[in-house]
Structure 1
Amino acid sequence: MEYPDLSALPAELREAVSRRGSLNVFRMIMHSPRLAPGLLEMADAILQHNSLPDQLRELAIVRVGHVYGAPYEVHHHQNIGRLVGLGQAALAAAATGSTEGLSQEEASVLRCTDRLLARHTLSDAERAEALEFLTVEQLSDLVITVGFYQLVSNFLNTFGVTTEGETSPYR
């Protein structure tokens, strides 16, 4: 799918793409100019105001990307994960779903992410396990993060978004 002509968009939308490094995902989202502002605001909130520790947030996002077969998502969030201190063992686990070698918290977040992806909810026992180390706010943010990146991955896959032509801001 071709990227929309950004020059045909209102100035505030062109600025929104530019402010985010003109990454391909943000360019492609402009096919929905009336929904894009809200989507971008939600993305910013998840990355900047999430109560989950950054490493756990990125572990969940990378797992969603792998399960959804969204290489664009995996690429960018592995890079962000490394920047925030997510280890190679956790990144490898996100690819496979195996919890071997992970901390108790990482393993629990990975299991919760997989349960949300497979069953769209957590059982009482799974919720209780997560609440042993997460606050209710953090669990809520985990569920919202997983759901949001399911949406993003569906969009990326449907529109065939790749990293072609990008220079990654996550170095």
Structure 2
Amino acid sequence: MARIDYADSSKASERTRDILAKNRNANIFRMMSHSPDYFVQYCRLGGAIRSRGELDPIVRELAITRTGILCEAPYEVIAHKRIGKNVGVTDEQNEALANWQAAKCFTETQRAALAFTDEIVKLNKPTDATFKAIAAKLAPGALVELQLSVGFYIMTSKFLETFEIDLQPVTEVVG
């Protein structure tokens, strides 16, 4: 059960209600809408991360899901395994993310991105060797997008866990 009540959408502005409706009134957004201005900007940046830029969407979703795993945020993991499947992440890859280092189902670029993700989450920044490995695989724009994706979903995972956002049926989860 969430630590505080979800915002009452009937008291929200039309813009907030529209954004909530577009996001299926997912619990994360219902909680976040307590702060309408931050909520709107969060959704703008999240939308850009998920639908704009040059980073391969499979690499992005693998990194986001791995971030959720490392941050121990089940809501995020469930949501992004589903989103990942929609952009081409295989079931085998989703299942292997908990122990990706031993798995054979990832490309060199995906492995470099996962190592980069692990070190950002665990060490706060990647080692020089890990940075050089991913920088050799991605254009500068995609590299920036990868780091911003991981950072954004660290924040999102911590938000979910801080407020103990309730899980929803898999068909309803958005994150």
Q: TM-score, normalised by structure 2?
A: 0.89
Number of aligned residue pairs: 170
Instruction: Specify whether residues 118 and 169 from structure 1 end up closer, same or farther in structure 2 by C-alpha distance, changes over 3 A only.
Output: closer
Residue aligning to 1:45: 48
Residues 105-139 of structure 1, C-alpha deviations (whole Å, 9 max, x = no match):
11111100001111222233222211222111111
Question: 1:55, 1:81 within 8 Å by CA — same for their partners in 2?
Answer: yes
Distance in structure 2 (CA, Å) of the matches to 1:166 and 1:123: 36
Q: Distance in 1 between matches of 2:119 and 2:171?
A: 34
SS in 1 for 2:37: coil
Within a 5 Å distance, the mapping from 1:106-145 to structure 2 comes to: 106-145=110-149
TM-score normalised according to structure 1 size: 0.91
Q: How does 1:71-150 map to 2 (within 5 A)?
A: 71-101=74-104, 102-150=106-154
Instruction: Give the aligned residue type for 2:56.
Output: P
Measure how far apart 1:89 and its partner are: 3.0
Q: Which has the higher contact order (CA 8 A, sep 6+)?
A: 2
The match for 1:3 is 6
Cα distance change on mapping 1:76 and 1:165 into 2, 3 Å: closer
Q: SS at 1:94's partner residue?
A: helix
Residue of structure 2 in register with 1:168 after alignment: 172
Does the residue aligned with 2:101 lie in a helix, a strand or coil?
coil
User: Any idea what SS the aligned residue of 1:98 has?
Assistant: helix
Gaps of 5+ in 1: none
What is the DSSP-based 3-state SS (H/G/I as helix, E as strand, rest coil) of the residue aligned with 1:163? coil
Does the CA-based 8 Å contact 1:60-1:94 persist in structure 2? no
Percentage of pairs with the same residue:
30
Q: 1:169 to 1:151 in 2, by over 3 A?
A: closer
Runs of 4+ residues over 6 Å off in structure 1: none
Amino acid at match of 1:128: K
- 1:93 positional shift: 2.9
C-alpha distance in 2 between matches for 1:59 and 1:98 = 13
